[in-house]
A and B are shown apart, each in its own frame.
Chain A
Amino acid sequence: MAEGIKDKVAIIGMGCTHFGEHWEKSSEQLMVEAFNEAISDSGVEKKDIQAAWLGSCMGVCNVGLSALPLSLALKLPFIPVTRVENFCATGSEALRGAVYAVASGAYDICLAMGVEKLKDTGYGGLPDMGSMMGTKNRFLMPNITAPGGFAMMATAYFNKWGIDPKDGKKLLAMISAKSHKNGVNNPKAHLRKEASVEQIMKAPMIAYPLGLFDCCGVSDGAACAIVCRADMAKDLGKKDPVKLKSMQISLSSGEELMYKNWDGASVLSAQKCSVKAYEEAGIKNPREELSMMEVHDCFSITELAAYEDLGISAPGKAGDDIRDGFYEMDGKIPCQPDGGLKCFGHPIGASGLRMMYEMYNQLLGRCGERQLDNPTLGLTHNMGGFPAMNLISVAIAGL
C-alpha cells in the first residue's frame, strides 16, 4: 500500500545564489556557488552524495541538455545524475526527484540543483513560444505570451465574481506591492525596491488587465538542496530538521482547453494538487495550519487565484483576505516572505528550489529582518504553463 513521503525525508542543506543579470557569471559558476552554500550547511561531504537531479528548463539557451552540466560543474564522481524539466515547475521537479529517491529507500543522501541562465539570448525574455510547445502547436497555438495567457484568467475571474475591473486592478496592485516590500529585506533578490499601490496602479498595461508591475521578469540564478533520510538528520547535528511533509504535482488533462467544464477563472490542477498535498501531509485545515507560503507569482493574478485554489481563501473571497492583510508579513499566512518572483525574477530551473530555500530558512529561524514568528509549516506552489494548460507542484515542508 503506497504511503506517500510524509516525514521520510529531511532537507539538511540549501544554497541559493543572488538572482540577477549575471553577465559575468556562467551557469557553472552559479551552480558551484549554490552548491557550496548547501554543502557547508549540510554537514555531509560531496562524496556522500549518492544521486543528483538537475532542473533546467531552457537548456538550449545556455546550460545545455542532459545532466552533464551538473556532473561536470560539480565534478560529481560518476554518480547517477538526472536532468528534469517541467516548464516553470522545473525547480520543484528536481527537488521531487531527489526527495522521492530518498523516500523510496533507494538512496540515503541526494542533491537537487536548479539553474537557469536566460541572459545569453541577445534579447529580453524567454524564447518564442513557438519553439517550446511541440511541432503541432507551432501550427495551432495562438501568438500567446505568458502575460496574455494569464491576463485572460484575470478577465474571467473578475467577470465570474462580479468584481469591477478597477477594484480588481487594485487587488492585483496590493498583491504586487506586498511582494515588492518583502523583497527589500532580501539581499539575494534581483530587485529590492518598494512600489506603492498607487505607483503600480498608474503603470502602463502589458496585457489587459495586467500592468507593468503585475509581471515578473527574467533573471539568472541557481539554488540547491541536499536531502537525506529523516532519521539520519539528527546524527548530522540537525536538532529540529526540516522535513518534507508532501511533494505533489498535478497536470492538466486537456479538459480546461478543449472541454466545456472550466470557466477560466481558476487553476484546476492547483485545486486538485493541493487536496492531494494536504492529505499526504495530514493537514485538515490549511488556513489554520499553514504558517507561510511561497506561491508562483509570475503574474499577480496567479497569486490571487492560488489563494483560493490552495483552499486558503474561500472561492471569490480572496479580495477580502487581501484587504484584511491576511497574506502580509504580519498577517495570518505571510505569502512571498522573500519577495517572490516579483523580486527574484524567474530563472526557471531555480525558482522552485528558491521557494523552498525561503521556507527552509524561515523554519530554521535564519531570515534576519524578515524572520517570521516561529513558523512550523511552509508551502511552496510552483506552476508551469498557462491557466488553460498547466502543471502545478505543491510541496509542504515543516518541522
Chain B
Amino acid sequence: MEYIHQSLGEDNKITTISGYYTVDDEKLIKYQGKDILCVIGLGIIDSSCCGVGGCRYAMVPGYVRHWKKKTIKGQYVSEVDPVIDEKSKIAIKKILMEEEVVTQINFW
C-alpha cells in the first residue's frame, strides 16, 4: 500500500468542523527485525455535537517496504505492508503505549 507522508508540526492543522488534528512525529519502531512506520498525532475535538475531547494517537500504516520512494505533489510516498496479524498488533501496541504516551492506536 502507498502511504503519503503528511506535513509535521502544530502549524499544519487539518481542520474539520468539529475539530482538527496535527501530525507530530513519524517514527520507525523495530519489531521482529523489521521497521514499522508509526505516525504520532494529536486530535482535538472542540466543536462536535457531543462534547469536547481529543487524544494523542498513533496510526500504524505498517511495515516499511520502500521508504520515501517517490513524491506526489511535493509529499513523500512510502510503500508499506499493513500489520494484519493480531499477535503482532498486540505487541506493537504495547511498545507504543510504553514509548509514546498515546491513548488511541489505530492500524491500517
Contacts and interface: CB of A to CB of B under 8 A. Distances in A.
A and B touch in the complex (CB under 8 A): yes
Interface of A: 21, 123-126, 145-147, 166, 180, 190-191, 193, 195, 198-199, 202-206, 212-213, 215-219, 298, 342-343, 345-346
Given A124-B47, A206-B45, A345 B17 contact: yes
Contact of B48 (A199, A203, A204, A218): A218
Contacts of A215: 16, 18, 45, 48-49
A217 B52 contact: no
Interface stretch (B28-36, B53-61, B63-71, B85-93): B53-61
B48 A202 contact: no
A212 B49 contact: no
A195 B48 contact: no
Nearest to A147: B50
A143 B59 CA distance: 27
B49 A191 contact: no
Contacts of B59: 202, 204
The 8 closest A-B pairs by CB, nearest first: A204-B43, A145-B50, A217-B17, A217-B18, A125-B51, A217-B47, A124-B52, A204-B57
Most buried by A among B52, B53, B55: B53
Contact of B19 (A205, A212, A298): A212
A343 B17 contact: yes
A346 B14 contact: no
Nearest to B19: A212
16 contacts: A123-B52, A124-B46, A145-B49, A146-B50, A191-B16, A195-B16, A203-B14, A203-B21, A204-B54, A204-B106, A206-B18, A206-B53, A213-B16, A217-B47, A218-B48, A342-B16
Nearest to B51: A125
B74 to A, nearest CB: 14
Given A124-B46, A212-B19, A218-B47, 9 more contacts: A123-B51, A125-B49, A190-B17, A198-B4, A202-B59, A205-B104, A206-B53, A212-B21, A217-B17
Please classify how large the interface on chain B is, using the bins under 10, 10 to 19, 20 to 34, 35 or more: 20 to 34
Contacts of A126: 49-50
Nearest to B106: A205
A218 B41 contact: no
Chain A contact residues: over half helix, strand or loop, or mixed?
Answer: loop
Nearest to B59: A202
Contacts of B43: 203-204, 212
Contacts of A195: 14-16
Contacts of B16: 180, 191, 195, 203, 212-213, 215, 217, 342
Contacts of A145: 49-51
B104 A218 contact: no
Interface in B85-108: 104, 106, 108
Given A147-B48, A198-B4, A216 B106 contact: no
Nearest to A203: B21
Most buried by A among B15, B17, B45, B59: B17
B65 to A, nearest CB: 18
Given A124-B48, A203-B43, A216 B6 contact: no
B38 interface: no
A301 to B, nearest CB: 14
Contact of B49 (A198, A199, A218): A218
Contacts of B14: 195, 199, 203
Interface in B1-24: 4, 6, 14-21, 23
Nearest to B50: A145
A23 B46 CA distance: 15
B48 to A, nearest CB: 5
Contact of B108 (A124, A166, A206): A166
A30 B79 CA distance: 51
Given A195-B16, A203-B21, A212-B18, A125 B55 contact: no
B39 interface: yes
A346 B6 contact: no
